[in-house]
Amino acid sequence: MSDIKEIHVVGGGLAGSEAAWQIANQGIPVVLHEMRGVKKTDAHITEGLAELVCSNSFRSDDHENNAVGLLHYEMRALNSLIMDAAERNRIPAGSALAVAREAFSEDVQKSLEDHPLITICREEIEHLPSAEEWDNVIIATGPLTSDALSQSILKATGEDKLAFFDAIAPIIYKETIDFEKAWFQSRYDKGDGKDYINLPLNEAQYDALIADLTDSEKADYKEWEKDTPYFDGCMPVEVMAERGHETLRFGPMKPVGLTNPHSEDQPHAVVQLRQDNALGTLYNIVGFQTKMKWGAQKEVFRKIPGLEKAEFARLGGLHRNTFINSPKLLDATLKLKSKESIRFAGQITGVEGYVESAAMGLLAGRFAAAERNSKTLSIPPIETAFGALMHHITGGADAKTFQPMNINFGLMPDIIGKNPETGRKYKKAERKVAKTVRAKEALMKWLQDNDLTQIH
């Protein structure tokens, strides 16, 4: 056992699990505290570490043209546990990286349990520890931080708690889908070409669905939830429907790139289902996160062609997410300015998405480990996905209007000048490629300058 003093990580979600892994692999003991097993949350079903409570997708794995795919690439360069476990438990999803959620969680937990420098404690941490108690701590409790710890954070920061609603999509048993109406196909035949189940709607059926979504019985609000906004990346389907009659048809229900083998008529809209487990027995409804009451969900979704006899392994739900005002409260290495023994990581910092949360856990773990080992670790360049996301939450965003953010190319500095290959201004697609090339070059230099793990 190491003689080096341990680092404490509070929260066993994606960010906390990744942080613990990164620290332990730098030769430093870690105590990972997770309250599930002692106290439940409003959204988790199991007690497993790194449980996925919303989608089972880590989104695009394309690291040539997509910002989240680039973040995948950068995390893999630093031996990310989350990315490795996702790859081991990958299931078909076109160009996206989707996982069998239970197997993924079990994989992450076993990796952490088997590591000789990691101790997992099932207990609720109710207050921010003082430097005398724990001198190096990462808070990665995510959007479902307990009330007691939330109040302690409020007291320490003096900030009002920001919050938004997050919704979960239903999961359907594949055997209950009617394949005389449904068919397998990826949009534009990407990936394996047959990674999604498609359900076609004509114009009348689409109009009826929109009416049902807007008129359905919704989950009740608590008094303090009435003014809480939704995050666009996980917005309830009925809220999207209320934003305009065509919103869904130009969003998750767009009919382009698909050919219905059962009919010569082009669908007016298409509902897609994505595989949710390795066996391929469960499928979730893409983009159909919902706050409708369970009875209403069954009634409305069974009107979709192909789902008339659908049975649900899980119905959708709604919970409130919380995050701190990171641009005001955190320094460039994710430390709490008013309490420098503490770092924050994951969704509680105001990043949105599984990958982004894990990435912040990875970086928080690396910074905490470097500090414990009396080493200096420079901030990732803003040209990288790592650096762009960190810069956004630690000062790049306006603290007065700060809201959760996914990684995107807009967070990176623009490409200046003309495309040397064409001699003309960069087109949108060309700019993405150029930013990706620049990011990878900047990442490699950062890795070399800091003597970090190289890409393998």
Q: Which of 26, 31, 56 is nearest to 355 (CA)?
A: 56
Q: Which three-class secondary structure state does DSSP give residue 281?
A: coil
DSSP-derived 3-state class of residue 1:
coil
What backbone phi and psi angles, to 5 degrees, belong to 285?
Answer: -85, 110
Q: Which residues of 119-157 are buried (b: 16+ CB within 10 A; e: fewer)?
A: bbeeebbeebbeeeebbbbbbbbbbbbeeebbebbeeeb
Assess contact for 309 and 176: CB atoms under 8 A. yes
Which whole-number Å values give the CA distances from 18 to 3, 12, 123, 210, 260, in the listed order?
22, 9, 19, 40, 42
**Secondary structure of residue 280 in the 3-state scheme:** coil
Contact 48, 106 (CB under 8 A): yes
What does the alpha-carbon distance between residue 159 and residue 121 come to, in Å, rounded to a whole number? 29
Cα→Cα distances 242→236, 239, 278, 294, Å: 10, 5, 35, 19
Pair 372, 320: CB distance under 8 Å:
no
Q: What are phi and psi of 59, to 5 degrees?
A: 65, -160
CB 439 within 8 A of CB 384: yes
Q: How far is CA 82 from CA 18, 32, 180, 316, in A?
A: 6, 16, 38, 25
CA angle at 448 for the pair 4 and 340, rounded to the nearest 5° = 45
16 is in an annotated binding site: yes
Query: How is residue 392 annotated by DSSP?
Result: I
Enumerate the β-bridge partners of residue 415.
none
Q: Got the DSSP string for 195-247?
A: -EEEEEE-HHHHHHHHHHHHHSPBPPPPGGGTTPPBPGGG--HHHHHHT-TTT
287 in a labelled binding site: no
Distance of CA 305 to the CA centre of its chain: 30
Query: According to the annotation, is 12 in a ligand binding site?
Result: yes
Q: Which two tokens stand for residue 409?
A: 């190319």
Q: Supply 117's token pair.
A: 């420098």
Q: How many CB atoms lie within 10 A of CB 227?
A: 8
14 is in an annotated binding site: yes
Q: Could you tell me which residues are annotated as the binding site for FAD?
A: 11-16
> Which residues are annotated binding-site positions?
11-16
